[in-house]
Amino acid sequence: MTKTKKPWDGRFAEPTDKNVERFTASIDFDRQLYRYDIEGSIAHCRMLAKQGIISDEDEKKILTGLGDILNDMEKGKLDLDCALEDIHMAVESFLIDRVGEAGGKLHTGRSRNDQVALDIRMYLRDEVKDVMGLIGILQEALHKLAKEHMETIMPGYTHLQKAQPVLLSHYLLAYWEMFKRDSERFGECLKRINVMPLGSGALAGTGLPIDRKYVAQLLDFPVITKNSMDAVSDRDFIAEFVFDAGLTIMHMSRFCEDLILWSTEEFGYVEIADSFTTGSSIMPQKKNPDVAELIRGKTGRIYGNLITILTILKGLPMTYNRDLQEDKEPLFDTVHTLKSSLSILSEMAGNVKFDCEKMRKRALEGFSTATDMAEYLVMKGVPFRESHRLAGKIVAYCIEKNKDLSSLDVAELKNFYGGFDEDVYKYLTVEESVNVKNVPGGTSKEMVSKRSKEIESNRD
Ligand code: ARG
């Protein structure tokens, strides 16, 4: 059978063991690279003809053959048997089946080592652009929510202990900033992905008069790799992409964790729409935030994929080693996991309802304006360390008397410090507490609206 005949079988006296064939094959997963493989081959073939390495006639035959294979692949017509080993050999063997001898000229001046590096870079640059688009959509969803909550006050936490009142919009835009950095990181990573490796051959380059820059131009790469040994063994861009994905899903996971916590009866700050929750098979009263939990859980997959990639690379002698075939599954899984998580989270963000009343009420509790009281005293000339101690004593007094800060009268306050006046109460409301934080980056309504407008007009 021509199909199972290996293109490299010249020096072999025996056929490959069936189990070895199955074990070494990557076609079950690298088949998804077929478009890039064919596109890369078309560019390579055009370059070979331009350089006079193959004839125009052979070029025509090869290009027609590759076009037909692409069509049949799109329609799922081709049987990708594991005897074909990988997508590169599959396409080449289909080509030889169709156009005969001319097909055997396609692999001139090329190795699967530079070919696979090309395919994966083409694949990943497309996916990175998609990912950046999806991050943009999530940012928009968060910004939209933030605009709806420019006045909503919530308790801000540190150590998961109530700390100071903040605007819900400030909280939401905090995530916007994280995703902005994530998107920038992918943009940086793209520069290193978008480098054309073909022409590096197996590891040393080729003796044939190829034109690498022409191939780069045809495939829309701004630059070519500068060292053939590096080019066939470099998978840094994959490790970098998976790390960037890890940070992005970590940010999503933290947001999800808040949503999970806040949708408990104990917090009750948010309600996720029925369409984005699931029920329990045993407890009829339950409404579970599974989407958020799954995003949090899937974070582990991406971290795992990063460790997988780094471990594959760690001990590799120069240059290409078959270990590198193991880069694909963790990469594909990362792309899929990240994209599906980004999409569903953007949708879910439009399907949550915050209980603004409850948040505001909770923001008032727990002496959350004690720092404002201390800052009030600073304005009256008390050194901060002293004012901090005084406010702490007043909090202890309130706990003992079961009162809150704003229910103390001036006389009571004067027992602690003579300089207290009626004007202190203004500092003890949550609105005032929020609005005095009018430093750049602070939670005052003025600063948060300013940031929102910058975002709106792309001045970030
Ligand atoms: N399937 C291989 C991979 O993904 C392609 C390159 C194989 N090269 C080789 N010389 N065996 O890495």
Assess whether the C-beta atom of 322 lies below 6 angstroms from ligand 1. yes
State residue 1's pLDDT score.
Answer: 38
Residue 391, in any domain of the structure: yes
Residue 278 lies in a domain: yes
62 and 121 share one domain: no
The mean pLDDT of the chain is: 95
Q: Is the CB of 360 under 6 A from ligand 1?
A: no
447 in the same domain as 368:
yes
Co-location of 59 and 171 in the same domain: no
Backbone angles phi, psi at 238, to 5 degrees: -75, -45
Q: Could you write out the three-class secondary structure of the chain? A: CCCCCCCCHHHCCCCCCHHHHHHHCCHHHHHHHHHHHHHHHHHHHHHHHHCCCCCHHHHHHHHHHHHHHHHHHHCCCCCCCHHHCCHHHHHHHHHHHHHHHHHHHCCCCCCHHHHHHHHHHHHHHHHHHHHHHHHHHHHHHHHHHHHHCCCCEEEEEECCEEEEEEEHHHHHHHHHHHHHHHHHHHHHHHHHHCEECCCCCCCCCCCCCCCHHHHHHHCCCCEECCCHHHHHHCCHHHHHHHHHHHHHHHHHHHHHHHHHHHCCCCCCCEEECHHHCECCCCCCCCCECHHHHHHHHHHHHHHHHHHHHHHHHHCCCCCCCHHHHHHHHHHHHHHHHHHHHHHHHHHHHCCEEECHHHHHHHHHCCCCCHHHHHHHHHHCCCCHHHHHHHHHHHHHHHHHHCCCHHHCCHHHHHCCCCCCCCCHHHHHCHHHHHHCCCCCCCCCHHHHHHHHHHHHCCCC
Catalytic position from the list 280, 336, 343, 407: 280
Summarize pLDDT for 319-361 with one digit per residue, the tens.
Answer: 999 999 999 999 999 999 999 999 999 999 999 999 999 999 9
Query: In this structure, are 348 and 419 located in the same domain?
Result: no
- Alpha-carbon gap, residue 332 to 80, rounded angstroms: 19
Q: How confident is the model at residue 281 (pLDDT cuts 50, 70, 90)?
A: confident
| Residue 4: band (very low, low, confident or very high) from pLDDT cuts 50, 70, 90 | low
Q: Which atom belonging to ligand 1 lies closest to the Cα atom of 86?
A: 1
Amino acid 231: pLDDT? 98
Specify whether the CB–CB gap between 457 and 449 falls below 8 A.
no
Mutate to test the pocket of ligand 1, among 88, 322, 331 (most ligand atoms within 8 A of CB): 322
> Ligand 1 centroid vs 459 CA: distance in angstroms?
46
Using the mean position of ligand 1's atoms as its centre, give its distance from the Cα of residue 193 in Å. 19
* pLDDT tens sequence across 109-152: 999 999 999 999 999 999 999 999 999 999 999 999 999 999 99
Distance 217 CA to ligand 1 centre (A): 25
Q: Is 324 in the pocket of ligand 1 (CB under 6 A)?
A: yes
Pair 328, 390 in one domain: no
> Rounded distance, CA 83 to CA 349, Å?
47
For ligand 1, atom 11: residue with the closest CA: 322
Q: Does the pLDDT at position 3 exceed 50?
A: no
| 368 & 397 share domain | yes
99 with 166, same domain: the answer is no
β-bridge partners, 167: 153
Specify the ligand 1 atom closest to the Cα of 26.
Answer: 1
- 406 and 390, same domain (yes or no): yes
What is the rounded CA–CA span in Å between residue 96 and residue 430? 75
Residue 191: pLDDT band (50, 70, 90) is: very high
Q: What is the pLDDT of residue 252?
A: 98
Would you say the CB of residue 238 lies under 6 angstroms from ligand 1?
Answer: no
Q: Is 86 in the pocket of ligand 1 (CB under 6 A)?
A: yes
- Which among 319, 339, 356 is the end of a domain? 356
Determine the distance separating the centroid of ligand 1 and the alpha carbon of 1, expressed in angstroms: 23
Q: Is the CB of 112 under 6 A from ligand 1?
A: yes
pLDDT > 90 in the chain, percent = 89
Q: Which residue is closest in CA terms to ligand 1's atom 3?
A: 325
Cβ of 312 closer than 6 Å to ligand 1, yes or no, is no
**Within this chain, do residues 310 and 387 fall inside the same structural domain, yes or no?**
no
User: Could you tell me if residue 215 is inside a domain?
Assistant: no
Of 49, 73, 108, the position where a domain reaches its end is: 108
4 domain residue, yes or no: no
What pLDDT shows up at residue 406? 87
Task: Quote the domain boundaries for residue 88.
Answer: 18-108
Cβ of 325 less than 6 Å from ligand 1: yes
Whole-number pLDDT of residue 366: 84
Domain assignment present for residue 84? The answer is: yes
Q: What integer is the mean pLDDT of 404-428?
A: 92
Q: Is the pLDDT of residue 22 over 90?
A: yes
Among candidate residues 327, 356, 385, the one where a domain is terminated: 356
Please indicate, yes or no, if residue 344 is contained in any of the structural domains: yes
Q: How many domains does the chain have?
A: 3
The dihedral region occupied by 427, where left means phi > 0, alpha psi between -120 and 50, and beta the remainder, is alpha
User: What is the pLDDT, as a whole number, of residue 285?
Assistant: 78
Residue 28 lies in a domain: yes
Residues 195, 225: Cα–Cα separation, whole Å: 6
Asked whether residue 432 is domain-assigned, the answer is yes
Tell me, what CATH number does 94's domain have? 1.10.275.10
Instruction: Return the structure tokens found at 417.
Output: 């410090």
CA 32 to ligand 1 centroid distance, Å: 15
Tell me, yes or no, whether 398 and 345 share the same domain.
Answer: no
Closest residue CA from atom 4 of ligand 1 = 325
Read off the pLDDT band of 427 (50, 70, 90). Answer: confident
Residue 166 has φ and ψ, to the nearest 5°, of: -140, 165
Q: Please give the pLDDT value at position 426.
A: 84
**Tokens for 256?**
């999800």
33 lines ligand 1 (CB under 6 A): no
231-276 pLDDT, tens digit each: 999 999 999 999 999 999 999 999 999 999 999 999 999 999 989 9
Residue 159 among the catalytic residues: yes
Ligand 1 pocket mutation pick from 116, 118, 312, 321 by most atoms within 8 angstroms of CB: 116
Statement to judge: residues 381 and 323 lie in one domain: no
Q: What is the mean pLDDT of residues 178-187?
A: 98
315 and 172 within one domain = yes
Domain CATH number, residue 345: 1.20.200.10
